[in-house]
């Protein structure tokens, strides 16, 4: 029985966060396979007092909430992450006492529970255990921040913001290179992310493990009336790649679609819309919902799910979820880059705004084609993009690492068969 320690900055939520649903769904399957799973997550004192860890108990036997000082939680967004990471960056000698205490608590838990493998969920957790090599470590970056920043910098029109993104890009490359050198294995969801990380450090072992979909949850809803003709884009609406995608649809794609099908509705679904997206809700035929309790209701009503990305990295969960619900998906090469060639054949992919719009028009004008593409997509997801498959891939990496450690130390226990 393998003793696995999962370390995450926040508690994973089953359905509400694109990154942390990966942790939740994969970890739950480790428990089913008989692993002894321990889970560490961070928060400030107030968050720990009001937190409900009942959901995490389905993925771990023991849960250890460790506190960040309140000071760190008063720093917003990227600044919060950057501050924490810089404090941990090994080339910078200054390290707050509270961070050192946090590291000591981590190492105490690792030693007390005789952990076999450490699974680190994100860059910050990786930086907490820099230079700790007593136990094999897998760092699940999911995607490359430097690749995302490189693309964001390319699309940014404001010179000042472009300079900001350039410095963030350079800083992010340094952090990722440090993590690549320190980790036994780094995992990502896309070949493009792997390519970027191996460019930063060629000797790193970077493995691609795509996300999965809960195909029981995301499944076709029988009898749901389609809001025809409509297109849908969903996601967190303050996330820059989503904002850029919405602007791309509104400025360049939707006008072409409406030139042929004027009554086409544009559904923008997701929490925390920024001002420019909020304002689109006042335009004819555009619906901006803000937060919704159940995204499936909106996916099931859409005629076409449209995902044309201009920036960002990683895999697009929104594409997999739509495919699982038998909805036709139109995207561009960047939106589909994390998928296999066979999976891409279940989408319609356009390189330009005109090509994308024409794909949407063709689908809106042909119901049979929409149904056929949707069924093809669900079949593909059920075969190749399940959480069971992702969990098996991680499990094989754990076994590989433990075998490698045992070969170095022949007197170590046989981790595959021990009780």
Q: What is the pLDDT of residues 174-216, one digit of tens each?
A: 989 999 999 999 999 999 999 999 999 999 999 999 999 999 9
Q: DSSP 3-state helix, strand, coil percentages of the chain (rounded to 5)?
A: 50, 15, 35
- Answer yes or no: do 397 and 369 share one domain: no
- Answer yes or no: do 161 and 252 share one domain: no
- Answer yes or no: do 240 and 187 share one domain: no
- Answer yes or no: do 16 and 162 share one domain: yes
Domain count, the chain: 2
- Answer yes or no: do 7 and 146 share one domain: yes
C-alpha dist (Å) from residue 290 to 226, 282, 294, 355: 20, 14, 12, 29
Query: Which pLDDT belongs to residue 72?
Result: 46
Residue 220 lies in a domain: no
- Min mean pLDDT across 119-123, 136-140, 356-360 is at 119-123
What's the mean pLDDT in 287-307?
97
For residues 345 and 122, the model is more confident at 345
Query: Which pLDDT belongs to residue 56?
Result: 65
- Answer yes or no: do 86 and 178 share one domain: yes
Residue 124 lies in a domain: yes
- Answer yes or no: do 56 and 68 share one domain: yes
Residue 341 lies in a domain: yes
Burial class (CB in 10 A: 0-12, 13-18, 19+), 111: exposed
pTM attached to this predicted model: 0.86
Q: What are the strands, taking DSSP E only, across 93-238?
A: 117-120, 137-142, 185-188, 206-208, 230-234
- Answer yes or no: do 203 and 132 share one domain: yes
Q: What CATH number corresponds to the domain at position 187?
A: 3.40.50.2000
- Answer yes or no: do 89 and 137 share one domain: yes
Omega before 414 cis (within 30°)?
A: no
Residue 196 lies in a domain: yes
Q: At what angle do helices 77-88 and 97-112 cross, to 10 degrees?
A: 70
Residue-number span of the structural domain to which 289 is assigned: 230-384
- Answer yes or no: do 397 and 304 share one domain: no
Distance of alpha carbon 375 from alpha carbon 297, whole angstroms: 18
Query: Which pLDDT belongs to residue 419?
Result: 41
- Answer yes or no: do 199 and 326 share one domain: no
What's the mean pLDDT in 121-134?
84
């Amino acid at each position: 029985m393998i003793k696995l320690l999962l370390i995450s900055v926040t508690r994973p939520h089953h359905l509400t966060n694109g990154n942390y649903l990966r942790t939740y769904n994969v970890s739950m399957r480790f428990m089913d396979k008989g692993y002894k799973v321990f889970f560490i997550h961070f928060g400030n004192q107030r968050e720990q007092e009001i937190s409900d860890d009942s959901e995490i108990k389905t993925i771990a036997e023991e849960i250890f909430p460790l506190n960040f000082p309140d000071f760190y939680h008063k720093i917003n967004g990227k600044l919060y992450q950057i501050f924490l990471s810089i404090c941990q960056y090994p080339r910078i000698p200054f390290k707050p006492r509270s961070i050192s205490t946090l590291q000591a608590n981590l190492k105490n838990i690792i030693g007390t529970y005789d952990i076999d493998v450490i699974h680190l969920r994100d860059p910050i957790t990786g930086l907490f255990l820099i230079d700790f090599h007593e136990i094999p470590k897998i760092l699940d970056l999911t995607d490359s921040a430097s690749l995302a920043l490189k693309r964001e910098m390319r699309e940014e029109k404001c010179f000042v913001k472009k300079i900001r993104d350039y410095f963030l890009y350079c800083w992010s490359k340094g952090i990722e290179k440090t993590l690549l050198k320190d980790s036994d294995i780094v995992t990502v969801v896309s070949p493009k992310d792997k390519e970027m990380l191996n460019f930063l450090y060629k000797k790193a072992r970077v493995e691609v493990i795509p996300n999965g979909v809960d195909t029981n949850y995301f499944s076709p809803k029988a009898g749901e009336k389609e809001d025809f003709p409509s297109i849908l884009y969903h996601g967190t609406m303050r996330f820059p790649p989503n904002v850029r995608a919405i602007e791309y649809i509104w400025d360049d794609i939707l006008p072409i679609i409406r030139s042929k099908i004027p009554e086409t509705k544009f559904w923008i679904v997701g929490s925390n819309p920024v001002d420019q997206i909020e304002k689109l809700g006042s335009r004819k035929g555009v619906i901006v919902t803000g937060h919704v309790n159940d995204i499936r209701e909106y996916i099931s009503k859409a005629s076409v799910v449209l995902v044309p990305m201009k920036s960002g990295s990683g895999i697009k969960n929104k594409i997999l979820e739509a495919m699982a619900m038998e909805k036709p998906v139109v995207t561009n090469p960047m939106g589909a880059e994390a998928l296999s060639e066979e999976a891409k054949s279940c989408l319609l992919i356009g390189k330009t705004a005109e090509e994308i719009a024409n794909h949407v028009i063709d689908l809106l004008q042909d119901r049979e084609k929409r149904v056929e593409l949707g069924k093809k997509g669900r079949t593909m997801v059920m075969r190749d993009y399940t959480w069971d498959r992702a969990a098996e891939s991680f499990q094989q990496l754990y076994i590989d690492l433990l075998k490698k450690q045992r070969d170095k130390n022949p007197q170590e226990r046989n981790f595959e068969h021990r009780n």
